[in-house]
Amino acid sequence: MVTWRGARSGTVVTVALAGTVLAGTVLTGTVLAGTSSGRDGTARPVADTGRAAAGPLSGKVIVIDPGHNGLNYRYPKVINRKVKAGPFKKACDTTGTSTASGYAEHAYTFDVATRLAALLRAKGATVRLTRPNDRGVGPCIDERAAIGNRAHADAAISIHADGAPASKRGFHVILPGYLKGYTGPIVAPSKRLGYDVRDAFRRGTGEPYANYVAKNGIDVRTDLGGLNMSKVPKVFIECGNMRNGTDAGRLKSASWRQGAAKALATGLARYLAR
């Protein structure tokens, strides 16, 4: 995120601009089987086998939403178009933020999402990502929510990293607030999900609660389309502040990202075991 109170996430499934089809367009509901590691430590998707392993999460469906996308910055007209975000409209998506050295939020979120997908599938879960790679545009915030809705997900999580002032640091989890006609049915289960994710992430990563927003690592919002349009339990997590030197060092570390994915998997499994 460019600012911690700004608009988030968004979409296209297939888009053409000036006669050119966007590369890496999003295929909704794509399932990733696992990961391999590149020489730079970045997790890379492995072809889907169509089968989940037998395990404690067998029969559970989890949707992972890696925030933003790698080509969003090239198509401002696409990501700035307004889409339904509850009883109001917001921009389809944003470009996200980056560290001072240029490590982009969209790359971070996809890397962690891919690692998390592999861990959850190993536990038997069916996992769907809202985008299959980091070379496309979107999808929009309403479509990101719709992917979880169509999958009848048992839980959904949107992964982000913040762009707050450099002197601030820490992580926080965002829960949907009550919005009549929209979030009522998911407020209570999303709260349980959010607290389980918060507790597991803090224990698993050692990252402190954010010291510039939220309280004890928990924020409640009604302005995020990705939550407002969800019909399944869903939370956002801002894993750290990319503009802070300490947080940036962690977010750029492949081993720390693997630990973050493990912590998120633990939190999701705990919620699903209730």
Active site residues: 238
119, 262 Cβ separation under 8 angstroms? yes
DSSP strand pairing (16-17 vs 20-21): antiparallel
Q: Which two tokens stand for residue 110?
A: 């996809």
Report the DSSP beta bridge partners of residue 52: none
Strands (E), 49-164: 61-66, 82-84, 89-91, 126-129, 155-162
Query: Using alpha carbons only, what angle is made at residue 261 by residues 257 and 264, rounded to the nearest 5 degrees?
Result: 135
Instruction: State the Cα–Cα distance between residues 176 and 219, nearest whole angstrom.
Output: 9
Backbone φ/ψ region at 50: left (φ over 0), alpha (ψ -120 to 50), beta:
left
Residue 61's SS3 state is: strand
The residue written with tokens 């309403």 in the block is 142
164, 39 Cβ separation under 8 angstroms? no
Residue 146's SS3 state is: helix
Give, for 27, the enclosing helix (H) or strand (E): none
